[in-house]
C-alpha cells in the first residue's frame, strides 16, 4: 500500500503521536476506488467508513425540496464522511458522490471502534479527527 504514507502524514497533522500507533492503524486501511458518478455514501443508508482521498474529488450533498444542495467538496489529501451517520450509525441525510475518479482508503466503523476500545492513544486520534471534521464544517458555514 504505497499511498498509506499519505494517510499517515494526514493523521500526524492531526495528532503528532499518531505515528506511535501507525502499526495498528495501517492494517485497517482498505484501499478503495470509485468511478466518476459513483457513491461513497448514499442518503438513507448508514455510513460505515471514514474515507481518505488520495486522488480525485467528491461532493457532499442533500436533496431539499426536490433540489440538490451541495454542502461540501473534499479533495486529495482530505478525509470525508457523513459524520452524523457515521458516529450515530443511523441513515445518512447526505450523499457523498465522486465527481472525478477517486482513489483512497477507508477506515471502517467496526474496526475503529475495536481499536478505540483497546487503545486510548488511538481513541485520542479519533477524537482529533472528529474535531477536524467539525472545524471543516464550521468554517464552511462561516464562508
* pLDDT tens per residue, range 40-75: 999 999 999 999 999 999 999 999 999 999 999 999
Condensed to tens digits (0 to 9), the pLDDT of residues 23-47 reads: 888 999 999 999 999 999 999 999 9
pLDDT at 139 over 90: no
**Sorting pLDDT into bands at 50, 70 and 90, what band is 1?**
very low
- What is the enclosing helix (H) or strand (E) of 136? helix 120-142
Q: How many Cβ atoms sit within 10 Å of the Cβ of residue 25?
A: 21
Amino acid at each position: 500500500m504505497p499511498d498509506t504514507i499519505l494517510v499517515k502524514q494526514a493523521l500526524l497533522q492531526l495528532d503528532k503521536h499518531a505515528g506511535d500507533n501507525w502499526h495498528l492503524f495501517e492494517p485497517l486501511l482498505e484501499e478503495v476506488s470509485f468511478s466518476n458518478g459513483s457513491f461513497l455514501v448514499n442518503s438513507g443508508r448508514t455510513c460505515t467508513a471514514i474515507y481518505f482521498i488520495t486522488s480525485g474529488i467528491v461532493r457532499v450533498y442533500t436533496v431539499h425540496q426536490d433540489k440538490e444542495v451541495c454542502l461540501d467538496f473534499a479533495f486529495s489529501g482530505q478525509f470525508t464522511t457523513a459524520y452524523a451517520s457515521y458516529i450515530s450509525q443511523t441513515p445518512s441525510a447526505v450523499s457523498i458522490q465522486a465527481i472525478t475518479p477517486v482513489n483512497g482508503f477507508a477506515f471502517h466503523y467496526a474496526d475503529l471502534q475495536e481499536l478505540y476500545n483497546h487503545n486510548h492513544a488511538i481513541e485520542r486520534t479519533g477524537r482529533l479527527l472528529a474535531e477536524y471534521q467539525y472545524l471543516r464544517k464550521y468554517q464552511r458555514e462561516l464562508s
